Amino acid sequence: MLPQGLGILALILGLWLAIWITVLRIISWLGWNRLAASFRAPGSFALPRLHLGFQSVSIGGIGYNGCVWIGVDEKGLLLQCRPSWLFPFHPPVLLPWGCFEKIHTWQLGPWRFLVVTVYLPDEQRIALRLPSEVLRLAQQLRDCTAPNGAGDPERIASQ
């Protein structure tokens, strides 16, 4: 039997954990899972060589600050929340290069972002805000994989 103080502490921690899990689940429904429903990465997901860690991303207006890893490869743009045990309702996402509809840059003081509209298969759209360093990764990928400069990632890197 626990002393009364420890019992109350355990109850508070349990309530906090339940609230945290509920909030994560609700947040995932608002943006991330809309992407994951159509573009979930394969089970053997691994970040490609060209990646950025601990990035801030906005998906459908929900901000993920400092917890998203972004990678690019010939298949598309990869997004993964890390550590994965902290984000149980956020599976890795692989966005194919062809799903991007509108791409433009946005600047807030010294920070520059890409604002991307992703076209979902059910004809809905969702907005992403990505760090501008994704352009550099896409350009590196293009330089490595397309000897004549042609290739799907060029579409992102040229805008």
CATH number at residue 95: 2.30.29.30
- Binned at pLDDT 50, 70 and 90, residue 151 comes out as very low
Q: Can you name the residues that pair with 106 across neighbouring β-strands?
A: 113
How many angstroms separate the CA atoms of 159 and 24, rounded? 33
Q: Does residue 26 lie within any of the structural domains?
A: no
State what percent of residues in the chain have pLDDT above 70.
87
Question: Looking at the 3D structure of the chain, how many domains does it have?
Answer: 1
Predicted local confidence at residue 2, as pLDDT: 61
Q: Is residue 5, in this structure, part of any structural domain at all?
A: no
pTM of the model: 0.78
pLDDT tens-place string over residues 23-70? 888 888 888 888 999 999 987 667 888 999 999 999 988 999 999 999
Spatial contact of 134 and 156, defined as CB atoms under 8 Å apart: yes
> What mean pLDDT is predicted for residues 122-138?
91
**Does 86 have pLDDT greater than 50?**
yes
For residue 62, give its domain range: 32-157
Mark out the alpha helices in 31-104 (DSSP H runs): 32-39
